[in-house]
Chain A
Amino acid sequence: MLAFIEAILASTLDFAPPVLFAALGGMLSERAGIVALGLEGMMRLSAFFAAVGTLATGNPWLGLCCGMGAAGLAALGHAWLAIRWRSDQIISGVAINLVALAGVTFLVEALYGSTDTTGSATIGKLELGFLSDLPVVRALSNHSWLTWIALLLPVALHALFYATPLGLRILAVGEKPAAAATLGVDVAAIRYGCVVVGGLLAGMGGAALSISTLDRFSNHMPAGQGFIALAAVIFGKWTPFGACGAALFFAAANALRIGLESSVPGVQEFLPSGVLLALPYALTLCLLAGFIGRAQAPAASGIPFDTERR
């Protein structure tokens, strides 16, 4: 039993980074008032360009930068449309997803003549040798650096939001941009910053898929993980620790599903995998509907800010 728990814990920590990064990125963007519907597309772009960058340079950290850059550019485009042109954020989010879906397929075919890239180096793992004698706890050892970055980021974001003037400004811009603007806060600048940094974070999540979880880009990526990140943002009630907890919870549910299917034969008969896969979404929906607690979106999320309309 202990071994099973240990295995679940270990694979939870391996599964978590993509969704965790993307959820934090999406949360940052939504807290500043820009809907983050394009997470899936940004993750896909980044997963691909991270693999390309790693193959080209041989260094996965440079690959990570390539991937983050690609996702950041997509986010910048999204921000430009949403802020400068007041386009519908949902439409441009969907557009990013569709363009990334087909565009990356085109690029991977053009560059590698197949739907997957070849294998490459991956981000190193952090060995915690001194834990190796302890049961269960030793599951913390031997995880990608990205896992630890992902686990520390919520702390940083929490500190940003609740302990710095900039964080308060971000929250104000997401709740009541007109009020923030009268106090001299540059609403557009804050929104640009949050969306682009959010895109970079989503990019880390996408890159984690192709240069950490796997050693290559595969055409099915990210297979809906951007949407589960969006669910995690909501399930975590738009807070850093909440989003982190939700992402870890979803990752644990996934790890449990795979662990059960591989170790308990016949589990499919009474607990089909589809039910477990649908569970995170169903729980999020229940939360939104107020059946378990209540999630309240930032008030100005999705509404373009117009300086002439107060």
Chain B
Amino acid sequence: MKAIVCVKQVPDTSGVVAVKEDGTMDRAAMATITNHDDLAAVEAALRIKDATGCKVVVVSMGPPPAEGMLRELLAMGCDEAVLVSAREFGGSDTYATSQILAAAIKKIGVDDDDIVFCGRQAIDGDTAQVGPQIAEKLGMPQVSYVAEINVDGKAVTVKRLLEDGYMTIKVQTPCLLTCVKELNDARYMSVGGIMECYQKPLEVYNYETLKDDPLIDVTTIGLKGSPTNVYKSFSPPVKGAGMMMEGADKATVEKLVSILNDKHII
């Protein structure tokens, strides 16, 4: 048995956000982090490794600097890493990305008792689409929004979050689970792990590596193969300044309430 975990390096949108003059995000100027939900997926896989001794392979599609993130995940305890990186893959939307990642996962090899993990969604796009789309391309069952996992041989029982509760779902391996960050608290890299992480295998899959897979067709990958395109992108305008009240005492509050009252807001 092994666990294959899809991870994404994302700009830290909670920190300083750099926007270029043309209105697009200046990724190069922003700090990068491992996507939160993906870290929960890595931790979930490592906990299964702790219990069963299974192998954990992390796979990420992105530019070459994503190797740094993969080394960190190896230092956390993952066994092998695959970086999927090629110019031909650039500009892919979720459909195209899932084709490429599915091809990469097939190349890694999916056995009967394997589980593929993804984060629920990435904080840069918030789409939550790539996980289910990989599952479809691999022809395996999926469960998304997973907040609890129990593995018993080939049977996997999970708790799947709904807005107002949850579903308990049983699924057989091989399957794909997308994890929410509430699933666990990810461990830190260990000192030993940091020492070892450069000795662990990290393979790069480029276009050549994957091109024989039927999923890798120039008409369905990259910017040109993506079904969706950006029509326009724009920055929301700053809302017209409201009224800043002077002071913060009783008189201020009473003045505010009288304005609200006069305008029939309260």
To the question of whether A and B form a pair in one complex, the answer is: no
> Which residues on A are within 8 Å of B, measured CB to CB?
none
> Which residues on B are within 8 Å of A, measured CB to CB?
none
